[in-house]
Amino acid sequence: MTYKVKYEDIGLKDYKETWDYQEKIFQELVGNKKVSSDSTSGPEGKNHGTLIFVEHPHVYTLGKSGSENNLLLDYIQLQAKDAAFYRIDRGGDITYHGPGQIVGYPIFDLEQIGVSLKEYIHLLEEAVILTLADYEVSAGRLDGATGVWLDTLNPGRTRKICAIGVRASRYITMHGFAFNVNTNLEYFNYINPCGFTDKGVTSIEKEIGVKQDFENVKKILRNKLKEVFNLTWIN
């Protein structure tokens, strides 16, 4: 069964403003599900998912299980780097968001899709892996860690290209993934990305050696997400 999803590309947007926006959509979907708990379809026209694509100004976010010790800057240094910091309610440790990075926030009902939370994360990873394959960049998964990685069989060269951190309630998801396309990787020098001290970070631009058509990467990724989750766009 296909899952109906509204797609929104909201461009460059402040992190907190976007967090509040996705929280509003998340709470509406959770509320609709409570009201219609005796129905498989939910309120007519209000049971669809939402997929948000966004870029953020420089910001570091720390998951609920993460350690602030993995942020290597103090408040004054953050200001000097024109960066913000938020402790948030997703899983995972610390990560960076910034221009040139596709941040995706799928607000999906996993019961309607028919997958577990573990399978959901696996499918997010799969969509990114398939996107990278279109650019002839070989990527995969790393045992014991979420996200998408390169050179996983070579510990000295293993590097992350997409971070994933999600929250779920009543099988409704929020937060999501951060996929480095033309990202300024210098900002990762000021954290232990996702809590790792021995792993690098990369981007499509760095792997291929040229700046990428950002809109085209978004288009491919959107299509891969549609494919792996069997989505139908309603806009």
Is the pLDDT at 195 greater than 70, yes or no? no
pTM as predicted: 0.89
- What amino acid positions are annotated as catalytic residues? 194
- For 202, the domain range is 3-233
Q: Binning pLDDT at 50, 70 and 90, where does residue 45 land?
A: low
- Sheet containing 59-62: order of strands: 84-87, 59-62, 94-97
Our count of domains for the chain comes to: 1
Q: Which residue has the tokens 């001290």?
A: 197
CB–CB of 8/51 below 8 Å?
yes
In this structure, what CATH number is given to the domain that contains residue 23?
A: 3.30.930.10
* Helices marked H in the chain: 15-35, 75-80, 110-113, 117-134, 204-208, 214-229
Give the number of other CB atoms < 10 A from CB of residue 30: 17
pLDDT digits (tens, 9 = 90+) for 98-130: 999 999 999 999 999 999 999 999 999 999 999
Is the pLDDT at 25 greater than 90, yes or no? yes
Q: Is the dihedral of CA 122, 202, 53, 26 positive or negative?
A: positive
Is the pLDDT at 40 greater than 60, yes or no? no
